[in-house]
Amino acid sequence: MTFLLATVILLISLALMMMPLITSNYPHPDRENLSPFECGFDPKNTSRTPFSLQFFLIAVIFLIFDVEIALLLPMPIIINNFNNVNTLLLILFFIIILTLGLYYEWLNGALSWTL
């Protein structure tokens, strides 16, 4: 019974996914549709703007450490509720891992803006 129900659900899902392909009348993209439009003129430059890889790297590092700070914020409450050595060692271990990660990124030059 379960196998039959799973098969029916799979067939309905496949039918719903294939329905737009069967019923749509959308033309296939060609060279004209894929080129950028500038009032009939050829584009002066590429449509893609260059992106600074250093900025992206700094943004990713910021997001990582931002999440880690969000994990560190409730630590004083945890220390007050669970006042034992294991909790303190766990928090100390977490902070040491964060410090080692920061030191590793600093040594590899990930934090310097100019490469």
Specify the number of domains making up the chain.
2
**Residue 42 falls within a domain, yes or no?**
no
Tokens of 100: 């080692």
28 and 60 together in one domain: no
Q: Are residues 30 and 58 in the same domain?
A: no
Would residue 69 count as lying in a domain?
yes
What is the domain extent for residue 9?
2-34
Could you read off the pLDDT of 44-84 as tens digits, one per residue?
666 666 777 778 888 888 888 888 888 888 888 888 887 78
| Structural domain contains residue 112 | no
Q: Render pLDDT for 2-55 as a digit per residue (tens, 0 to 9).
A: 899 999 999 999 999 998 888 877 767 776 666 666 566 665 666 666 777 778
In a domain, 115, yes or no: no
Domain for residue 21, yes or no?
A: yes
Establish if 46 belongs to a structural domain.
no
pLDDT tens sequence across 96-112: 998 898 888 888 877 77
Residues 30 and 63 in one domain: no
DSSP character string of 18-61:
HHHHHH--PPPP-HHHHSPPBTTBPPSS-SSPP--HHHHHHHHH
Length, in residues, of the chain: 115
Question: What is the DSSP code (8-state) at residue 74?
Answer: T
Residue 48 in any domain: the answer is no
- 30, 65: one domain: no
- Judgement on whether residues 99 and 72 belong to the same structural domain of the protein: yes
The pLDDT value given to residue 49: 67
Identify whether residues 61 and 25 lie together within a single domain. Answer: no
Q: Is residue 83 part of a domain?
A: yes
